[in-house]
Amino acid sequence: MMKEVFIVADNIYSPIGNSSAENMAALKRNQSGIAWHENPALSPTPFFASLFDSTEPCTAPFYLEGYTRFEQLMIASIQEALKNTDIDPRDPETALIISSTKGNIGLIETEPYSSVLAEKVSLHHSAKKIAGYFHSPHQPIVVSNACISGLLALLTGMRLIQSGQFKHAVVAGCDLITKFILSGFQSFMAISNSPCKPFDAERDGISLGEAAATVILSSQKKSVDNIRLAGGSVSNDANHISGPSRTGEELALAIRKALAQSGIHSSEIDFISAHGTATIYNDEMEAKAIDLTGMESVPVNSLKGNYGHTLGAAGLVESIASIHSLKENIVLPTKNFSTSGVSKPLHICSTLQTLELRNALKTASGFGGCNAALVFSK
């Protein structure tokens, strides 16, 4: 029998809160961090996004000399999560896993190219600095696989624990929005001219967002209300570098494998936290995948209208919200959703719901056709 893996502590550091509790309170109010920004340093034209207050000197709640904003946010989130557990990152039985899509890429906009800059923008460089801060005895593991990075990092931590290589895993993710990132999405014509509308008939693109998040996994149950990471899987469309599958079959495959690993039937899933980017093709693909797995009547939400798309942090942020939703027996609303705009019938939650919950499914998809699915259970 595979070892059980528990979520024993977590943190979300975002524009709507500096802790998981603050973020959950904001989500229950259906609060959003998405706002109109006029910032020539990021874009020659105004745009909607969920960004940290740029007037703060380093964004993080403290300042560390020699660490970038990205690294400081990661450290801040990890520290907040560690406060809520007795797990020590210096323990040889604790792994450190870092999730990000772009890391320090913003430095290329402010510093001339050099071998030093090339090292500073590499994800392994930041990961080593973060590991050094916490005196981790191991080389950190970097997970960077487009927008499933956060879920894949959790799945990696789960597998390391189940295989007996570690007893605990600190899984952290972060991304900050830079001109490089924003201009890339703008070149795809993928940025909405209004706050994004997941699954809605009038959806027209994403809103980007910034966040850092941490989940601490353990083979040891620390509290009676610890949620289990019961199963997970990944798949790939092999369809297009930026366009998702037209059938949803590949995400459906990841969902089925995650359910099989967890020993849970699709009829036992009580709600789905979808990727829900509010692009035409992503939401349609997810709707088809959910339909293919027979869960069209299961409550579904997307938190992109609250956070924007936080890239390498998205899977972690939204997993933490799902974990606390299970604990509180609530399904959070999908902000800005009004009328369904996908071809398959879905039970999209537009208001806060109180239900008896036991199992939740979290999905994600990203560039290159990658898909991920995780199951969380009481």
Reported as a single tens digit per residue, the pLDDT across 327-371 is: 999 999 999 999 999 999 999 999 999 999 999 999 999 999 999
Q: Classify residue 339 by its DSSP letter.
A: S
Q: Taking a C-beta distance cutoff of 8 angstroms, is the pair 351, 297 a contact?
A: no
User: Are 146 and 249 in a shared domain?
Assistant: no
Task: Give the angle subtended at the CA of 247 by the CAs of 245 and 253, to the nearest 5°.
Answer: 85
Q: What is the pLDDT of residues 9-44, one digit of tens each?
A: 999 999 999 999 999 999 999 999 999 999 999 999
User: Are 24 and 164 in a shared domain?
Assistant: yes
To the question of pTM greater than 0.85 for the whole model, the response is yes
On whether residue 245 sits in a domain, the answer given is yes
Q: Is 331 helix (H, G, I), strand (E, B) or coil?
A: strand
Compute the chain's Rg from CA coordinates.
19
User: Are 140 and 166 in a shared domain?
Assistant: yes
CATH of residue 165's domain is 3.40.47.10
The whole-angstrom separation of Cα 240 and Cα 243 is 5
User: Are 196 and 321 in a shared domain?
Assistant: no
How many other β-carbons are positioned within 10 Å of the β-carbon of residue 333? 21
The whole-angstrom separation of Cα 320 and Cα 311 is 15
Q: What is the pLDDT of residue 223?
A: 87
User: Are 185 and 320 in a shared domain?
Assistant: no
User: Are 245 and 326 in a shared domain?
Assistant: yes
Q: Taking a C-beta distance cutoff of 8 angstroms, is the pair 156, 141 a contact?
A: yes
Q: What is the pLDDT of residues 96-106, one digit of tens each?
A: 999 999 999 99
| Distance between start and end Cα atoms, the chain | 18
Q: What is the pLDDT of residues 236-269, one digit of tens each?
A: 998 888 889 899 999 999 999 999 999 999 999 9
Q: What is the pLDDT of residue 358?
A: 98
Banded pLDDT at 60 (limits 50, 70, 90): low
The whole-angstrom separation of Cα 375 and Cα 352 is 21
User: Are 259 and 324 in a shared domain?
Assistant: yes
Banded pLDDT at 61 (limits 50, 70, 90): low
The whole-angstrom separation of Cα 245 and Cα 238 is 8
The domain boundary, picked from 200, 218, 236, lies at: 218
Q: Taking a C-beta distance cutoff of 8 angstroms, is the pair 313, 153 a contact?
A: no
Question: Over 70: is that where the pLDDT of 56 sits?
Answer: no
User: Are 58 and 147 in a shared domain?
Assistant: yes
Taking the CA of residue 21 as centre, how many other CA atoms within 13 Å lie in the half-sphere pointing to its CB? 4
Supply 324's token pair: 């606390």
C-alpha distances in Å from residue 82, one per residue of 75, 141, 144, 264: 10, 18, 23, 30
Q: What is the pLDDT of residues 117-156, one digit of tens each?
A: 999 999 999 999 999 999 999 999 999 999 999 999 999 9
Domain span holding position 214 = 6-218
On whether residue 170 sits in a domain, the answer given is yes
Question: Over 50: is that where the pLDDT of 57 sits?
Answer: no
Q: Taking a C-beta distance cutoff of 8 angstroms, is the pair 210, 312 a contact?
A: no
Supply 89's token pair: 């990152």
Domain count, the chain: 2
Q: Classify residue 236 by its DSSP letter.
A: E
User: Are 150 and 282 in a shared domain?
Assistant: no
The whole-angstrom separation of Cα 311 and Cα 357 is 27
Q: What is the pLDDT of residues 176-194, one digit of tens each?
A: 999 999 999 999 899 999 9
On whether residue 198 sits in a domain, the answer given is yes
Task: Give the angle subtended at the CA of 195 by the CAs of 355 and 277, to the nearest 5°.
Answer: 65
The domain boundary, picked from 218, 253, 285, lies at: 218
On whether residue 1 sits in a domain, the answer given is no
Q: What share of the chain is helix, strand, coil (3-state, %, to 5)?
A: 35, 25, 45
The domain boundary, picked from 165, 200, 218, lies at: 218
The whole-angstrom separation of Cα 254 and Cα 245 is 13
